[in-house]
Amino acid sequence: MTDLVYVLNGPNLNLLGVREPDIYGHDTLDDIAGALEDRARELGLTIDMRQSNHEGHLVDWLHEAQAHDARAVLLNAAAFTHTSVAIHDAIKAIRTPVIEVHLSNPHTREAFRHVSFVGRAAKGSIAGFGALSYQLALEAAARF
């Protein structure tokens, strides 16, 4: 196992900072990446942070995380969380532990967000703490 941690982000998260800031906060994805990189350095970890609006990219990157012997994947699959059997199956298909991450708490929102195909396959889930959710997931990954 390497010290590499993949941080994979799904659709619309490229718009963080301007997208519904009352729900998702004012931090951009670059802000989140910068803070994660700082903490990762302290923990002796390396971050590979990516975002895509396309489901298949997330599937490919999950496979890649295992091929590169990553320590963990932090995955905010965004809306695909609630729809994607393909991402669920990719998480099950790899041995690399996946931590589900959300800025908001989907359980307090619309009913269609209460189902998580990611959560059913992930090692654990962290949601509802805004940008801090990513930091908390990284702390967990550092302790594997």
Q: How far is the CB of 76 from ligand DQA (least distance, A)?
A: 5
Beta bridge partners of 47: 5
Q: How far is the CB of 27 from ligand DQA (least distance, A)?
A: 12
Q: Which two tokens stand for residue 121?
A: 């396959």
User: In sequence order, what are the residues at sequence separation of 6 or more whose Cβ sits closer than 8 angstroms to the Cβ of residue 54?
Assistant: 11
Tell me: is residue 27 an annotated ligand-binding position: no
Residues carrying an active site annotation: 24, 102
Amino acid at 112: F
DSSP 42-84: HHT-EEEEEE-S-HHHHHHHHHHHHHTT-SEEEEE-GGGGGT-
Tell me: is residue 138 an annotated ligand-binding position: no
Size of the site for ligand DQA (CB under 6 A): 10
**Scanning residues 78 to 97, which ones bind ligand DQA (CB under 6 A)?**
78-79, 81
Q: Between 12 and 66, whose beta carbon lies closer to ligand DQA? A: 12
Q: Which of 48, 113, 129, 136 binds ligand DQA (CB under 6 A)?
A: 113
3-state secondary structure of 110: coil
Q: Which of 76, 84, 96, 125 binds ligand DQA (CB under 6 A)?
A: 76
Chain residues in the site for ligand DQA (CB under 6 A): 12, 76, 78-79, 81, 102-104, 106, 113
